[in-house]
């Protein structure tokens, strides 16, 4: 789950490591197909909006650090996933 201000390394490292291990990684945010900006400027593109997520189809949720969690906690669709 992403929003503006995520800690870039906390997104990039698990994103690529999980893919290397064969997992399909889906980037979820409040808006689908939107570009968010990491704390240090890395652009991160969401694939799905939180309202479109069926939690039964996923094995894990990663909540990133930085300033993003403070924004994400006020979005009921993002909170529902957790």
Give the model confidence (pLDDT) of 3-31 as tens digits.
999 999 999 999 999 999 999 999 999 99
Residue ranges of domains in the chain = 8-81
For residue 68, the model assigns a pLDDT of: 79
Higher-pLDDT residue of 82, 14: 14
For residue 24, the model assigns a pLDDT of: 96
pTM for the structure as a whole? 0.86
For residue 6, the model assigns a pLDDT of: 92
Residues in contact with 15: Cβ distance below 8 Å, sequence separation at least 6, in sequence order:
25, 27
pLDDT band for position 79 (cuts 50, 70, 90): confident
**Bridge partners of residue 28, in order along the sequence:** 48
Angstrom distances, CA of residue 54 to CA of 31, 49, 80: 15, 11, 10
């Amino acid at each position: 789950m992403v929003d503006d201000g995520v800690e870039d390394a906390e997104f990039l490292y698990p994103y690529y490591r999980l893919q290397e291990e064969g997992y399909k990684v889906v980037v979820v945010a409040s808006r689908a197909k939107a570009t968010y900006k990491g704390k240090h400027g890395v652009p991160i593109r969401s694939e799905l909006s939180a309202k479109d997520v069926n939690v039964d189809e996923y094995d894990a949720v990663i909540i990133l650090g930085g300033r993003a969690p403070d924004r994400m906690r006020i979005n009921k669709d993002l909170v529902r996933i957790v």
